[in-house]
Amino acid sequence: MVGSRKLSNDEVEALLGGLEADSKTSKHEQFDPNEIREFKFGAEDLSLLGDYYALRLINEKICRAVRSVFLPMLRILPRISSFPPEVKSFDEYVESCDNFASVTNSRIEELRGNCLVVIQAPFISHLTNSYFGGSKVKLLFETQGEFTATENRIIEIITNGMLSSMQFAWKDLIETNFDVQSREENIQLISFVDGDDTVIVCSFMVQIPHHDPASFDIVYPLQTLKPISSQLRSRVQNEYAVDDRTWKERLQNAVLSIPLTLSAELGRPKTTLGKLTKSKVGDAFPMIPFDDVIVKVAGENIFRAELGKVGPNAAVAMKNRIKNDGKK
C-alpha cells in the first residue's frame, strides 16, 4: 500500500547483504567486464514484460471516474492520481499490505480471471465518518479487527461504484464485466492466486484537503492480462466505437443526395467517313432503334427501359436492372 510500505524479508536480507559487501570491498577493486554470471533458463524475467502503456491510460481514466464515487461520501471532490503499475509476486504484495483492509475479489469473465480491489481500513473509516456528517478534518479510526455493519454497507457502495468505473475505463480496450465474488477483511484469507504467482499492482493515491492521503490498489494476476499483453503495450487503442445512428443517417442521406446525370441510348446508327465529312444541316442518318432503351450513368449501363411520354415531355420507363456482365 502507499505510504507505509513494509520491506519483505528478501528485501531486508538483500539490503544487509549489500551493506556487508560494501564494507568488505576494497576501494581499489574494479569491476571485471569479463565476469561470468550464472543464469537459470526458465526463470521469468519480469523486465521482459515491457511497459503496459495502455494500462496506464486505463488507470488515468479510473482516476477521473472514481472521483464521482467518493464525492457523495467526502462531500468534496478529491484529487486522485495513479502510480506506474508494479510487477511482483503475490506474497510480496501481501507482505506490504496491512492485515486489516477491505479486499473485494471480482471475476472478469471476458479474461477468464479475477482482480482485487484493496482499500485501506482508515480510508473506509474516514468515508463512513464523513458520509454521516462527521468531521472531514481529522480521521477517526481506531485499530480494530472487523468492520461494522455501517462500514460494510459503505464498502459495498464504493466498491460497486469503483467496479463500474473500471468497466467504463476498460471498454476502450475490451468490453468487461466485473462481478463481485467475495469480500474479506484480511487479504491473507482471500482465495486469489498462489503466493508465487506474479501479479500486476496498480496503486492509486487519494488526496483530501486537511487530511493525510489515502490509497487503494487494484491487483490483476499476470496470467489474466497475458492474452491481451500486446494490446496493453500498444499506444494505439480506441477499438471501441459508439454506435452513433444520427451520424450514420446523415452520412447516408448525404450520399443518397448526390446528383447524377442519366443518359438514354436509343440506338447506334452507322455511316461512312466520306458521308460524314460531306454531311450538312438537314441530312438524316437511318437508324434501327433498340428493342429496349439503354439508360446509362457515368457511361455505365444501369437499366433497360421503354421509350414513352409524360405529358409533353419524352420519358423512359424502367424495365429491369442490367447486371455487371451486361446480361439480364
Chain segment 31-50, per-residue pLDDT in tens:
566 676 665 554 444 444 55
pTM for this predicted structure: 0.56
Which of the 8 DSSP states describes residue 217?
E
The string of DSSP letters for 57-77 reads: HHHHHHHHHHHHHHHHHHSS-
**Domain-wise residue ranges, the chain:** 51-233, 259-267+286-328
- Identity (one letter) of the amino acid at 65? A
> CB count, 10 Å around CB of 55?
23
Q: Which CATH class is domain 259-267+286-328?
A: mainly beta
Higher pLDDT, 72 or 218: 218
Higher pLDDT, 164 or 144: 164
Which of the 8 DSSP states describes residue 25?
S
Per-residue pLDDT, averaged over 282-295, amounts to 75
Task: Identify which of 207, 208, 203, 244 has the alpha carbon closest to the alpha carbon of residue 1.
Answer: 203
Residue 309, H or E segment = strand 300-310
Tens digits of per-residue pLDDT, 152-166?
899 999 999 999 999
pLDDT band at 326 (very low <50, low <70, confident <90, very high): very low
| C-alpha cell, 236 | 494505439
> CB count, 10 Å around CB of 183?
17
pLDDT band at 139 (very low <50, low <70, confident <90, very high): very low
Backbone angles phi and psi of 81, in degrees to 5: -130, 155
133: region left, alpha or beta (phi > 0 left; psi from -120 to 50 alpha): left
CATH for 51-233, options being 3.40.50.300, 3.40.1550.10, 1.10.10.60, 3.50.50.60: 3.40.1550.10
pLDDT at 61 over 80: yes
> CB count, 10 Å around CB of 247?
10
Per-residue pLDDT, averaged over 57-77, amounts to 88
Q: Comparing 51-233 with 259-267+286-328, is the CATH topology the same?
A: no
